Chains A and B, each alone.
Chain A
């Protein structure tokens, strides 16, 4: 499913490209080189991991619940990157590679009832003893340095504005800082934090890889700085267990970048 979606997108983009060749007949240099500086926001979508046992964490949509408690899980990411692109103007297609930093933060927060600012986290079941902690929120931070490989197609270009599609994949083996924290209602529980984190299991995959597609517009004159804005199509994590407290299905987001042409 993941791959077929991206393949479909590339075929579609390529088709548009052929069409655009008939409209645009610009004798341009075959290869141009540019540096892209990019920054973006990523919003992975998913749910709280089953192993995070929260009283009232009702994940099924098929049940009616009568309770004034609520639990929310939000994951967001920030990206910064630099890429080097070779653009073949005859086919309006570029390939690029570079380096990218992505910082993700996941937070589970909520309340067990309308008069409380905490929820109950179950962290131990031993014999007939079950232990809960009153928790305000659980947060997790992951920082990845990855290598993106991308192909970009600009099927339509009118004056200084272009429409483009991008497909890419990024790979990482570097999670610079992985941190999971619990903010307890009762601060005396802080001394149990490591033990509780160990009990609920917060190990993640060391490898990180995503497969993504974007659609965007670019603005700028030829051989001058260009500005690109793109929106992620629903994209996927190739690797599993990248997050300790949430199960992510796909990601969305947007990105802004500036492209500086390099002289030959």
Chain B
């Protein structure tokens, strides 16, 4: 009984101290959209944690917005799901990459994905695209997701969040028609508010 009480006390103290951890400035979570002069409508490729992404779906730009959190990472036991949420015109669009074999425990462990290229056709990996209310599980013809750089971001010598930057391109079918999702780029800050492991 005494031991159980001690364990509860230890657990409570751990929770208190972990909740006292310094939270980051909201400024780092904001979106800074700088248009790419060479690919109109898309954000530039950057590695500053500007919290933006973009890609052409055929010729229409699908980009992050100021209102929505541009990315969420959800880790289920052995699969990392990267969800990019934005708009194509006025239509809300979610693009979800499910990558088997990656299970970082915290957002800082995402550095294990630094400089890797993932073939989206590999078994276990999948991509889905939700346009409006309709979700399409995509059959990949060819394509890859390149995570160019993952950095742990320290602000005033304190670890705050992780910046994940990279590129993607793939060909698939949408409404039985071949479609290219091209010139995809992302520069995402992953912190407390958009990393989940459960």
Using a CB–CB cutoff of 8 Å, the interface residues on chain A facing chain B are 55-56, 58, 60, 62-67, 69, 112-113, 115-116, 120, 125, 128-134, 184-186, 188-189, 192
Contacts and interface: CB of A to CB of B under 8 A. Distances in A.
Interface stretch (B12-20, B95-103, B120-128, B153-161): B153-161
11 contacts: A56-B32, A56-B48, A63-B35, A63-B37, A65-B35, A66-B34, A67-B31, A67-B34, A116-B27, A128-B114, A189-B157
B21 to A, nearest CB: 16
B152 to A, nearest CB: 5
Contacts of A67: 30-34
Residue of A65, A112, A120, A133 with most partner-chain B CB within 10 A: A120
Interface residues of B, number: 27
B151 interface: yes
B27 A113 contact: yes
Given A63-B44, A116-B27, A58 B151 contact: no
Contacts of B182: none
Contacts of A189: 156-157
B34 A65 contact: yes
Contacts of A125: 151
Given A65-B33, A66-B66, A112-B27, A130 B154 contact: yes
A125 B27 CA distance: 21
A130 B156 contact: no
Given A65-B34, A130-B151, A116 B156 contact: no
B34 A64 contact: yes
Nearest to A134: B156
Nearest to B32: A67
A120 to B, nearest CB: 7
Given A63-B34, A63-B36, A129 B48 contact: no
- Top 8 A-B residue pairs of the complex, sorted by shortest distance between their CB atoms: A66-B33, A64-B35, A130-B151, A67-B32, A128-B111, A131-B154, A62-B37, A112-B27
